[in-house]
Amino acid sequence: MVQSMKPIYLRDEFDDIVHRTFWDAMRQFVLKTDNQWPTHYAAMRDVVGAVSDLFEKKFLTDGENVRELGLAVLNELTEMGDVEIVPSFLRKHFFAYGIFGCAQRAGVRTLLTEEETRALAERIAEREIPRLLGGELLKSVWMPQVIILISEVGDGLNEECRSYFDGLVQNDETLPAVSLFFNGPNFGSGTGTLEIIFDLAKMKERAQEKLNLDESGELSSDPSVNISHQRTVDPMF
């Protein structure tokens, strides 16, 4: 659906109010509302990726009024609590400016200045950390971008956040969800990213335990969970 609407939307034949209404609708469309830990790979992740890509194609381009409109939409999405589109968009800017520990990449387009990027990222991290520790955030997102943003802005997670993630890894119910979240069947988070969020050695050990149980027939996991565990143990899988 998102791919089919892309050429129509990018024609830029709409008034500003239409753009703003459109992105509010997209924000609501990608909301994860079930408040459950995932037990298998969800195709909705691909949809969220396509929506984020469309946002970038619209607002990381040259054109009349693009910055003014982009800032307005970005601010409105942030005010409405978006945790999918905005974090993904902001992290592009981290690499453009080489900030928050991200290696600078040449040729990355930006909408925000470095100062604006820092301010908005810090604002989102401050807002979302209590939701993370309260157990709400991870159940309400499809993609890990907001978690990675929090870890990058803080130059690594604080002790309380790391303890929370260590607890998820030790819990048999939440370990599959963690593997799916960061290392799905067709994507993977880099080792450097995982190391600032988890005790990576312990995470790999726990994933291998589950793979061993599944192989012996003592545990029956969804195939997508097993692939995620395998990618956690070996990023090259």
Residue 214 has pLDDT above 80, yes or no: no
Q: CA end-to-end span of the chain, whole Å?
A: 31
Q: Render pLDDT for 48-74 as a digit per residue (tens, 0 to 9).
A: 999 999 999 889 887 768 889 999 999
Neighbours of 186 (CB within 10 A): 10
Residue 15 has pLDDT above 80, yes or no: no
* Residue type, position 102, single letter: C
Q: Render pLDDT for 125-137 as a digit per residue (tens, 0 to 9).
A: 999 999 999 999 9
Mean pLDDT for the chain? 89
Q: How far is CA 17 from its chain centroid?
A: 27
Residue 217 has pLDDT above 80, yes or no: no
pLDDT at residue number 219: 67
Residue 192 has pLDDT above 90, yes or no: no
Residue 104 has pLDDT above 70, yes or no: yes
* Residue type, position 28, single letter: Q
Query: Which pair of tokens denotes residue 127?
Result: 């807002």
- In whole angstroms, give the CA distance from residue 26 to residue 230: 33
- In whole angstroms, give the CA distance from residue 114 to residue 168: 34
Residue 3 has pLDDT above 80, yes or no: no
Q: Single out the residue of 145, 147, 172 nearest to residue 162, CA to CA.
A: 147
pTM of the complete model beyond 0.85: yes
